[in-house]
Structure 1
């Protein structure tokens, strides 16, 4: 069943990043869902059950660390890989603290975005 559309959720409050990432990923056949906040995150994610989540560090209201930790505590959702992204120089520490599978430093180029996403989905 390789014809199933891959789904990705991007949590970021930067509309430019959302539109660029959405455009690139849709071109590659992803179904992209975007949110500018992480409120009710378990409901949002459970309603979509994506293959990958991109999580911004500064997402309102709770922030990316708490949002990611919330997902990782949920039995049904914890297996979904989270790519943590941030312009913070401590991004590796933040991603580890959040429990994310991997991270992507901002600003990133689109090749990096693709590489990181492909690296987490091939492990499933």
Structure 2
């Protein structure tokens, strides 16, 4: 059994900070569960271009408000607590936070821990065993 507390993960190398967000990666590839689990804070009044070409992601909003716009069709979906969105088609999107948002995120394949978005909004794939 794996047991971790968010506050302990936040005080470790599992916390990754970027310009528009920070993510505490509570479950990673080396845990060998086949997915990773993160608690991510999206900073208020930000817009982030994301395109997970190598990963599928589901995101549950725990607090805050914003919106997600899928670039293929221009649809905009409001984000509020209790909403789950699933990027099941490697959807290129813009994530906008009106207020600070706390999100619970699951990635498949799992992240190894230090990933940040490249210039295209992509996380690289970790092919190591």
Using the size of structure 1 for normalisation, the TM-score is: 0.29
Larger CA Rg, structure 1 vs 2 = 2
Structure showing the higher strand proportion among its residues: 2
Structure showing the higher helix proportion among its residues: 1
Bigger relative contact order, structure 1 or 2 (CA pairs below 8 A, ≥6 apart): 2
